[in-house]
Amino acid sequence: MENSNRALNVHLGADLKARWADYCLALGKSPGAAIKAAIEQQLAQSAANPARKTYQQVVETPTSVPKHRFEILLTASEKAAINEQAQIERCSMRRWIVDAIRIGLTHEPQFGMDEVDALGESNYQLLALGRNLNQIARSLNDGKYEPVTVEMITALSGLIQKHTEVVSKAIRASLERWDIE
């Protein structure tokens, strides 16, 4: 759009334009003036309430990089609740707090030890599945057309099902663990 052109063309269609014209008539404004007022209101609201920034975890920080101390004060009940959750998730209170901060900043899941164990097992199963499929593909590419049996497909299907259950459980646990009362 050129800078010299100050007009805005909006194609509404017959029905929407008629309803808009009726609405503006009831307000005592021209359709153009009502659109301008609505745009100004949206921009003012946006300026007053800017969108919150979502951060991303982009690079793993080496353990040699120094950490910065930040002290917080908690009520006894907050500390007890954090301690209880840290025990459930098999991590330290410090680790639990850092994970809570990261999820607040990045909106990405931070997995506890149970989820990490489950996802590790799931990856192991997925790699086994990939090796099985690779062997079948290699045999077919080598011209060895050994019949694929129902048992082979059932075994692969079982591995896929197991993988899906493990990942689903970890995802549910990650999403649900942040609920508090």
Q: What is the reported pLDDT for 76?
A: 93
Domain shared by 102 and 126, yes or no? no
Domain shared by 115 and 178, yes or no? yes
**pTM for this one?**
0.48
**Spatial separation of the C-alpha atoms in residues 154 and 132, rounded to whole Å:** 12
Query: Cβ atoms within 10 A of the Cβ of 110, count?
Result: 21
Report for 4-8, 25-29, 52-56, 160-164: range of highest mean pLDDT: 25-29
Domain shared by 106 and 129, yes or no? no
Q: What is the 3-state secondary structure (H, E, C) of 112-164?
A: CHHHHHHHHHHHHHHHHHHHHHHHHHHHHHCCCCCCCCHHHHHHHHHHHHHHH
Domain shared by 119 and 160, yes or no? yes
Domain shared by 132 and 118, yes or no? yes
Higher-confidence position of 176 and 163: 163
Q: 179: which DSSP letter?
A: -
Q: What is the reported pLDDT for 21?
A: 93
First to last CA, the chain: 52
Query: Cβ atoms within 10 A of the Cβ of 99, count?
Result: 20
In-domain check, residue 62: no
**Spatial separation of the C-alpha atoms in residues 62 and 40, rounded to whole Å:** 48
Closest among 13, 12, 30 to 22, alpha carbons compared: 30
What is the per-residue pLDDT across 33-75, written as a single tens digit (0 to 9) for each? 999 999 999 988 888 887 778 887 677 777 788 888 999 999 9
Q: How many domains does the chain have?
A: 3
Helix axis angle, 31-48 to 14-27, nearest 10°: 80
Structural domain of 126? 111-181
In-domain check, residue 119: yes
Q: Calculate mean pLDDT across residues 70-86.
A: 94
What is the per-residue pLDDT across 5-20, written as a single tens digit (0 to 9) for each? 788 888 899 999 999 9
Domain shared by 176 and 152, yes or no? yes
What is the per-residue pLDDT across 115-146, written as a single tens digit (0 to 9) for each? 778 888 888 888 888 888 888 777 777 777 67
In-domain check, residue 33: yes
Confidence band, pLDDT 50/70/90 cuts, at residue 180:
very low
Instruction: Give 41-69 as a DSSP string.
Output: HHHHHHHHSPPPPPP---SPPPTTSPP--
